[in-house]
Structure 1
Amino acid sequence: LEFAVQMNCPGCADTVRAALEGTPGVTLLELLPQAQSVLVQTTLGAERVQELLENSGCKAVLKGMGGSPDGEGGPGGS
Structure 2
Amino acid sequence: MGAQDSYLLLTGPSRAVVFIDPVAFEVQLKVKGQTECEDKILCLEVFQYSTVYSFAWGPFMIRKCFYSKRCTLEVKFAPLSVFQMLL
TM-score range, shorter chain: under 0.3
Larger relative contact order, structure 1 or 2 (CA cutoff 8 Å, min sep 6): 1
Larger radius of gyration: 2
TM-score (norm 1): 0.27
